[in-house]
Each structure stands twice: as structure tokens, then as C-alpha cells.
Amino acid sequence: MDFHVVSKVDNNIHESFSLDRSSYPEPKELSPDSARVQPVVISLTSNNLSYARFGDFLHWWDAYPVPATAPAPYNDKTKWGIVPAWGYGIVTESTINSLKPGTLLFGFWPTSSAPVDLKLSPSEPSGNWVEISEHRKLQMSIYNEYKETGHYDLPTSGTVDWPKEQLDNMAWTALLGTVWQTGYLLNKYSFTTNPEVDPNIGPMGASTPWSKEDADLSEAVLVNLSASGKTARGFAWQVLNKRSRGDGPLGFLQITQAPETIGEVAKRSAQNSGTPTKASGYSDIAGGVEWAAGLKPKKLVIIDFGARDNAVKKLVESVNESPELKEVKTVIIHVGSEQKVYSKEEMMAYLQDMQMLGKVRCNTADILDAVVASIGRQAYQDAVQSNWNEWSQERENNIPDMKLTWSDSVFGEHGIHGGWDRVTTGSLAPHECLVFKFR
């Protein structure tokens, strides 16, 4: 059983190690109201770097503490942690009568090939579970939720023979299924076109005031920064496919390192909405701003999904230099950070820039909680699943450049270890999708 651990002090430093079955899992007897689950398919993206970067502050390190039986120095939980990842796991043992071995669960897993013990409480609707272990009580709700997605016979060999099509669907859901909700929630609720039906809920959920005027894009140009990222692509699809003509935005500008691909996909989608679109590279931000100015907006809404090379500052500077735009109201919503490990000094500068630019933070979990409180979990799950299914039917057209890269290892260049090197150095290309199969 193999584990990948990351230094909590410097996320560039990481290691992999193995434990034999005599020392893991702990305890060997499964507790009441618990399930032992084997990770099956997990993904590794730049989001995992965020889980490490803010692991203490937002309690992501709490999900799967390093086993006490890990070799030194990795057994020091104050200095080392296991980064969690989205994907699927299969129940191998259970002390919960209604949760049988062979049940496949979608949720949050360790970057490890080892089974984990979850203490679960049933939730609504049926087939949903909440992890209630004491060490996870400070995590945001979405990270403690698990959902049944099927049931399979467990062969004595311990390896399920998954059909390729199902494995691929599991991989895409592991990679995109959760971050997909960010774009869905922002478009449908933070920028609602029908507040009487879909309440306007701000990027920080119910805790922050968000008016109908804040949500209105009818006279705005919308800017999608870091548009080739996975979360940003989902948002673009929502904007260009799920808004009626006249609801805005006046135009949709995407800044990306892959302007040709992103631009072609946007043009196809925009045939439905009629929204003018443009894709610009990071070296042509000024050209994108000039295009936006030509649409004569009354508001500029910038969604930063983790732009690189100080692109936000460059964009704001270019806007301020534009005679047509310098007096236009500008709103910047911060969704993600650049794919890199920040030093303490860089993090201080990053936080200062956020304050200086007046960025509005976005937290998917907070929006989701507010929506569920408003319409109910069943209604939300039904709606977002239908939305996901619609996108998935045209997946090859929606993300034509993205390719799955499979591995079955924690160790090595092609395992989680090597994947982490690429995530932390920013060398993971937008089209590369790292997924790992462990059973």
C-alpha cells in the first residue's frame, strides 16, 4: 500500500513510501457505523495544489492524516500531510447495514493506493452519506459528502474488471465533476437571469450581500481569465449555452495560453446564445481590452480562475488606459490561484494584490450550501446532474484537446509522485488530465 505525502512547510517537497498490511489499516477492526473503502480512480489537478497551499487554514489536511505507522520523518503530522483528491472508491467492508460491500462512492480520497475507513451518516436524498469523524468536523460540507453511484461484485482477486467506457466516465467525473459545479453555480445563481426562480447568491454564499444589480450581466463584458483551465472551461460552457439572448453578457472575452482551441469551442457554443466572443493569449491582453471597449459596456466583470504572469494586473492596467473603459465599473471575482507553489513573500504579495484590486472571493462550497438551503439537495442534484449529462454528450467537442493520462502507481515519473512535480512547477499542460487507477 503506497502513500504520497507533502511537506506542509514547502509544498515543493514531497515523498512516497509503502506500508505493508501488517501495519495498515489502523485499527484493523472496523468501527461501528463505518465503511472501509478502497480508492479506485482519483484525479490530480492544480486544485490539489490549492488543497495543500491552504491545507491548514481550510482543514484539507484533516481529511486523511498521515498514518502513525509511517516511517520517520513522515509520521510527524505537524510537518507532513496527505493531499486529498476527487474520485471514486469501492466499499470492501462495512458495519452499516444499508451500505454493502461493492458499493461505489464518489467523493474525496487520499492520494494513496491504500484503503481508508470512513465514519458515515446517511444523508438526503437516499444514497448520499456524510463523513462525521471528529477529525473532519471543521471541513466545509462538500468535502465530507459521499454519493453512491452503483454496486459491483467484488471478485476474490480483489480487482474489478471495469469496462473502458465506464473507467473513462469515472475519470472525467473525477477530473471535472466537482469543479464543474463552480461554473454552474456562478452562472445560474451569482449571475442569475431569473432571480424570482433562481435566487441571486453571491460568490461567497449567503454570508456576503449580492444584489440583483451585482448579478446583472445584460450590459457587461465578461472576462474569463485562465480560460484553458478545467474550472474555467466549465464556466464558459454555462455562459455560452445556458443564457437566453438578451440576458448578457454583451461579450465574452477569454484570456488563455491556448487561444485557438478556446476560441473555436466558444464560437460553436456562441451559436446558441449569440454572444460575441474573443479569445486572446496572455501576450495580447491589450487587444482583448480593445475588443471589449468596442462593445461599449457599462460594467466589466473579470473572473480570475488562476491567471499566470500577473495577468490580472496587466488587464486592469490596460482597462485603466482605455478611454472607453477607464470609468466603467470593474468587478473582479477570484476563483483560483496560479498553478505554482508560493513562497511566504509571494503569498503576502498575493494577498495584498487581492486587497488592492478589490477582488471578491469565490467559494464554491458556500454558494452550494446557500443553494441547497434554498431549493433542497434533491432538486439541486437533479438539476446539476442533468446539466452535466448535457455537457458530457458533447464532451469531445467541448474539450477537444483534453486527453486522459492514466497511471496505476503512486511512485515514479508517471505516478502521483511525478504528477505532483508537474503540478507544483506549473509544467502540467492544459490538455493533460492525470488520473490514477488503483483497483
Of 315, 344, 369, the residue at which a domain comes to its end is: 369
Q: Provide mean pLDDT across the span 249-267.
A: 96
- Could you tell me the CATH number of the domain that includes residue 137? 3.90.180
- At residue 339, the pLDDT reads 86
User: Is 172 a member of any domain?
Assistant: no
27 lies in the same domain as 136: yes
360 lies in the same domain as 416: no
Percent of the chain with pLDDT over 70: 99
10 lies in the same domain as 116: yes
- At residue 157, the pLDDT reads 63
User: Is 166 a member of any domain?
Assistant: no
**Per-residue confidence at 35, pLDDT binned at 50, 70, 90?**
very high
Task: Provide the CB-side half-sphere exposure for 182 (13 A, CA).
Answer: 24
User: 7-21, 77-91, 335-349, 414-428 — which is least confidently predicted?
Assistant: 335-349
Cβ neighbourhood burial of 246 (10 Å; 0-12, 13-18, 19+): exposed
User: Is 167 a member of any domain?
Assistant: no
Q: Provide mean pLDDT across the span 43-57.
A: 95
Q: What angle do CA 224, 306, 62 make, to 5 degrees?
A: 130
229 lies in the same domain as 350: yes
Domain enclosing residue 342, as ranges: 179-369
Who has greater pLDDT, 272 or 51? Answer: 51
The tens digit of pLDDT for each residue in 60-77 reads 999 999 999 999 999 999
30 lies in the same domain as 82: yes
**Per-residue confidence at 21, pLDDT binned at 50, 70, 90?**
confident
Number of domains in the chain: 2
User: Is 384 a member of any domain?
Assistant: no
289 lies in the same domain as 217: yes
**Per-residue confidence at 302, pLDDT binned at 50, 70, 90?**
very high
User: Is 213 a member of any domain?
Assistant: yes
The tens digit of pLDDT for each residue in 154-174 reads 876 667 788 999 999 999 999
User: Is 320 a member of any domain?
Assistant: yes
pTM: 0.94
Residues 6+ apart with CB under 8 A from 76: 66
Of 369, 394, 418, the residue at which a domain comes to its end is: 369
147 lies in the same domain as 48: yes
SS3 state at 318: helix
Q: Which three cell numbers stand for residue 295?
A: 462593445
362 lies in the same domain as 242: yes
User: Is 385 a member of any domain?
Assistant: no
- Could you tell me the CATH number of the domain that includes residue 227? 3.40.50
Q: Provide mean pLDDT across the span 240-263.
A: 94
The tens digit of pLDDT for each residue in 175-197 reads 999 999 999 999 999 999 999 99
**Per-residue confidence at 245, pLDDT binned at 50, 70, 90?**
confident
User: Is 214 a member of any domain?
Assistant: yes
Who has greater pLDDT, 216 or 207? Answer: 216
258 lies in the same domain as 363: yes
- At residue 158, the pLDDT reads 60
190 lies in the same domain as 328: yes
188 lies in the same domain as 148: no
- At residue 270, the pLDDT reads 85
Strand locations in 57-209 (E):
80-81, 84-94, 103-110, 116-123, 128-131, 145-151
Q: Provide mean pLDDT across the span 5-33.
A: 90
**Per-residue confidence at 430, pLDDT binned at 50, 70, 90?**
confident
| pLDDT exceeds cutoff 70 at 206 | yes
338 lies in the same domain as 232: yes
